[in-house]
Structure 1
Amino acid sequence: MQQTTERIQHLWERLATIGGFTYESRPGPRSLTGWQGEGRGRVQIDDSNADERHFIEQGEFQLQSGQIVEMQNRFIWKKTPTGIALSHGRRGEPVFLFELIPTADGLWKSSQDHVCINDLYSGELRESANGFELTWHITGPKKDEHLFYRYFPDNS
């Protein structure tokens, strides 16, 4: 348990250093969304609540067609006894996505898939020398989505 506690604290501290992100969305063969492209932006950290660390993300996403869409997200990270939970802030309310627990060195995986209506969410986080990569998978009747975030301290 001590190693888990130390790893949680280590990742928690790294979350506070993030300043930018890149994003890639790749739909799988069963996807009906067509949401494919790449984006990038800035992350503002709000940790006014000691138990949570909010990533306020703003940037641009370019669809494969070339259309550019403004991105705005709020992701909420929260320490748990066994890992760090990730939620999406929607209309002021957190919507739970998954809890990441430490597995191998520098690797975190969803403790279990999370069901949201008809969709299943899972994730994996891999720490790197310059931040971390967060991969999501969303499957459901209309979804087969693969999202790749790369977070880093500076967006330069």
Structure 2
Amino acid sequence: MPRPVPSVESAAPIIEVWSRLPRLAHLVFTATPGPRSRTGWAGHGEARIESSHDPDGVRLHEHGLFTPQTTGTPVAFRNVYRWVNHSDRLSLWHERFGRDAAVWLFDLTATDTDELATVEAHLCGADRYDARLSLTTEGFELHWSITGPSKDETLVYRYHA
């Protein structure tokens, strides 16, 4: 059965995010543990982004430093996220260990004129990953919520040109 064609209104934020992805150059993020967190993952990070557009999506190659609140000592990190446009939704894949070991995280669909949210949470063992994306003036914010038996984390990624 063919998928329904998305309406102009529901496609607009998807089109807008898709057009911004190749222009993103910077990332600033915070990690905040909630009251049920046993990881205590808290801190902030900054990264440079290099994007690449391939037939299977747009990849954001992130290279930066994360400073844990507990130590104050920056730690280098790198990530690769692949975004795939399906017209009615965007899929997000984590390729930290390469294309062949990509992990599908979730699909995002429009919930408002400037917001997308996960269609279904990503389950990793007993942990649940949800996200909400909000368009900003120069890019977007991606709010992650990670909950589980020992996790209660909020991540806020701010992407901009």
- Quick check: TM above 0.5? yes
Structure 2: give runs of 5+ residues left out of the alignment. Answer: 1-5
> What residue number does 2:11 align with?
5
Could you say which residue in structure 2 is the equivalent of 1:21? 27
How far did residue 31 of structure 1 move?
1.2
Aligned to 1:117: 125
Match of 2:108 among 100, 103, 128: 100
**In the TM superposition, what is the alpha-carbon distance from 1:82 to its structure 2 partner?**
2.0
CA-atom RMSD, angstroms?
Answer: 1.3
The residue aligned with 2:75 is: 69
| TM-score under structure 2 length normalisation | 0.89
1:141 — aligned with what? 149
Indicate if the aligned counterparts of 1:114 and 1:120 stay in contact, CA closer than 8 A.
Answer: yes
SS at match of 1:91: coil
**1:70 shift after superposition:** 0.7
Give aligned pairs, total: 152
* Whole-angstrom distance in 2 between the partners of 1:54 and 1:46: 5
Unaligned 5+ residue runs, structure 1? none
Q: What is the deviation of 1:33?
A: 1.4
User: Quick check: 1:97–1:122 contact (8 Å CA) kept in 2?
Assistant: no
Residue 116 of structure 1 and its aligned partner are, at CA, apart by: 1.4
CA contact (8 A) 1:20 1:152 kept: yes
1:81 to partner: Cα distance: 4.0
Amino acid at match of 1:126: S
Q: Does 1:32 align with 2:38?
A: yes
- Normalising to structure 1: TM-score of the pair? 0.91
Indicate the larger mover: 30-39 or 6-15: 6-15
Structure 2: how far apart are the matches of 1:31 and 1:151? Answer: 26
Which stretches of structure 1, 4 residues or more, deviate above 6 A after TM superposition?
none
SS of the residue aligned with 2:140? strand
Whether 2:60 is the aligned partner of 1:55: answer yes
**Paired letter, 1:121:** Y
Amino acid at match of 2:67: Q
Structure 1: distance between partners of 2:11 and 2:116: 13
Query: How far 1:90 moved relative to its partner?
Result: 3.2
Q: Give, in whole Å, the separation in 2 of the partners of 1:6 and 1:127.
A: 11
State which of 75, 81, 84 in structure 2 corresponds to 1:78: 84
* 2:44 is the alignment partner of 1:43: no
For 1:22, the aligned partner's letter is V
